Amino acid sequence: MSSDIDSLLRGAKAYELAKRAIDAMEAHRVWPTAVNFELWLHYVSSKDSEVTQQIASVIESGEQFTEHMGEELAAKHLPSGKLSGELIDAGKSLTEELDSVSRAIESARETSEAYGQQLATASESLQGEDAEAVRVMVETLSQATRRVRDENSALENQLAETTDELGKLREHLEQVRREAMTDGLTNLANRKAFDEALEAACQGPVTLAIVDIDHFKSFNDTWGHQTGDQVIRYVASVIGRIAEAGQRFAARYGGEEFAVIFPGEAPGVALQALEQAREEISSRILKRRSTNEDLGAITISGGIAEKQPGETPVMLLERADEALYASKNAGRNRNTLAGLDEASKAKPRAA
């Protein structure tokens, strides 16, 4: 599918096609990211493609085409999106395999040394005994072992160098993996990294928080996407500091939403951390970098849920989302704990 797009973009109608895609994104208030641009190129150029049908379905429903939708469509339909995930998984598998090879090399070296020592000890114990034939045999084996050990000395040096290179390769693969699991705008973990972290955290007790920037669409429409990015980066910096303690994990969940995983921590601890972040964010008056204009105060809303026995990551996410919607419906700029009665679960902004 991408090869067809590449052909069209190198053809006579390339600029016309690109303009149609940009116009369509602008008409539907879609950010012109590289991923979205490729998706909407498919939308304007191929009426029958699955990408076109899914985008059309979103438009017909009146729902906003979000960054998260774009990421999901790209991962499912665009070769580049699929390749990214495959490279991450392949890199992880290769790293594990290299670890296994390194351990095998070290084990073989230790076994060889132990064997030589055992033979030498056996030879010494037979000195002066009446088992001359056995002694000669063992001595012969000892000499052979010494020769093998000497001949293998150079090989061991080479294996040590190889192991060092494997270590460097592992570090490089891990760096590539980290970059592929990091959101480019905020430097927080991205959605794929979050999904993996939540799956792992749900093996034990965990509390999950979902955070959303209030009225962000309206703010974005008023000030533009670049200023919107400035706000997202600022909120991300505050949310990111929550995860500096313990084994907490912060991620950009999608668009203007963030998530924080609190492994082994109670909902009250998560609520306290989010309250501190909410108060810090709402107390600061941001300025537009290009003009130094006051942007006013930014507020966030959050939903917090503690994993229940037998609950899956998806179920936990749904309850945290419901708590977030409760915060929105209660007036925003507050955090809500899932599972409490309506009278006490929302903690509003202090007067």
Q: DSSP readout, 82-122?
A: HHHHHHHHHHHHHHHHHHHHHHHHHHHHHHHHHHHHHHHHH
pLDDT for residue 91: 62
At 136, the amino acid letter reads: V
Residues near 35 by Cβ (< 8 Å), separated by ≥ 6?
Answer: 70, 71, 74, 78, 81
Say yes or no: 148 and 21 in one domain: no
The answer to whether residue 325 sits within a structural domain is yes
The answer to whether residue 186 sits within a structural domain is no
Among 144-158, 173-187, 294-308, name the one with the lowest average pLDDT. Answer: 144-158
pLDDT for residue 314: 94
Tell me how many domains the chain contains. Answer: 3
pLDDT at 274 over 60: yes
pLDDT at 203 over 70: yes
Cα–Cα distance measured from residue 55 to residue 70, given in angstroms and rounded to the nearest whole number: 9
- Rounded percentage of the chain residues whose pLDDT exceeds 90: 32
Place of tokens 């203007």: 256
Cα–Cα distance measured from residue 287 to residue 137, given in angstroms and rounded to the nearest whole number: 87
What is the SS3 assignment for 20?
Answer: helix
Say yes or no: 203 and 340 in one domain: yes
pLDDT digits (tens, 9 = 90+) for 321-343: 999 999 999 999 999 999 854 33
pLDDT digits (tens, 9 = 90+) for 213-229: 999 888 888 888 888 88
Here the tokens at position 24 are 């369509």
Domain C-terminal end among 145, 180, 215:
180
- pLDDT higher for 92 or 316? 316
> What's the burial of 109, exposed, middle or buried (CB within 10 Å: 0-12/13-18/19+)?
middle
The answer to whether residue 217 sits within a structural domain is yes
Say yes or no: 160 and 112 in one domain: yes
Say yes or no: 116 and 250 in one domain: no
Q: How confident is the model at residue 3 (pLDDT cuts 50, 70, 90)?
A: very low
Say yes or no: 72 and 168 in one domain: no
Say yes or no: 229 and 254 in one domain: yes
pLDDT for residue 285: 78
Q: How confident is the model at residue 212 (pLDDT cuts 50, 70, 90)?
A: very high
Say yes or no: 201 and 336 in one domain: yes
Domain C-terminal end among 77, 94, 112:
77
Mean pLDDT of 236-241: 96
pLDDT at 345 over 50: no
- pLDDT higher for 177 or 204? 204
Q: What are residue 281's phi and psi, to 5 degrees? A: -65, -45
Mean pLDDT of 289-298: 78
pLDDT digits (tens, 9 = 90+) for 119-146: 666 666 555 555 566 666 667 667 767 6
Cα–Cα distance measured from residue 146 to residue 153, given in angstroms and rounded to the nearest whole number: 11
Distances, alpha carbon 321 to alpha carbons 225, 255, 259, in Å:
25, 15, 10
Domain C-terminal end among 58, 77, 96:
77
Say yes or no: 13 and 59 in one domain: yes
The answer to whether residue 185 sits within a structural domain is no
pLDDT at 348 over 60: no
- Structural domain that includes position 328: 191-347
pLDDT for residue 150: 67
Mean pLDDT of the chain: 79
Say yes or no: 245 and 298 in one domain: yes
Q: Which residues are bridge partners to 257 per DSSP?
A: 212, 254
Mean pLDDT of 280-301: 83
Say yes or no: 227 and 310 in one domain: yes
Say yes or no: 172 and 205 in one domain: no
Cα–Cα distance measured from residue 66 to residue 252, given in angstroms and rounded to the nearest whole number: 13
The answer to whether residue 57 sits within a structural domain is yes
Say yes or no: 336 and 227 in one domain: yes
